[in-house]
Amino acid sequence: MIVISTETIPGWKITEVKGLVQGNTVRAKHIGRDIAAGFKNIVGGELKGYTELLTEARREALERMMSQAKELGGNAVVNLRYATSMITSGAAEMMAYGTAVVAVKEQE
């Protein structure tokens, strides 16, 4: 499956639009990560535990979005975007969304 953040796919022609697709996940903070983050706030630096958490959340949201596109009969997603929002204290949602399309390789 082709997933791209632009409206078009270079070298491909979009022949059909299947519709909006999205995938999301809600993740909660881990107490161990919170403790480590508290120490990092004192000295500064990357919060690696949270970086890993967000990386996992983006991957899962993207996989769910691609699965939905496939169910609609698409072979690509254009205009990929990510959004995040706080659900409650200590939990956040990561969403991936875009437009599922059918794309065919252009003749050279």
Residues 89-102: tens digit of each pLDDT: 777 899 999 999 99
Among residues 27, 88, 101, which one has the least CA distance to residue 60?
Answer: 27
Residues 6-47: tens digit of each pLDDT: 999 999 999 999 999 999 999 886 655 555 555 555 666 666
C-alpha 100/C-alpha 18 separation (Å) is 5
Going along the chain from its start, the domains and CATH numbers come out as 2-105 (3.30.110.70)
Q: Would you state the pLDDT for residue 60?
A: 97
Structure tokens at 102: 């059918």
C-alpha 14/C-alpha 75 separation (Å) is 10
Q: Are 5 and 79 in contact (CB under 8 A)?
A: yes
Q: Are 73 and 17 in contact (CB under 8 A)?
A: no
Q: Whole-model pTM? A: 0.83
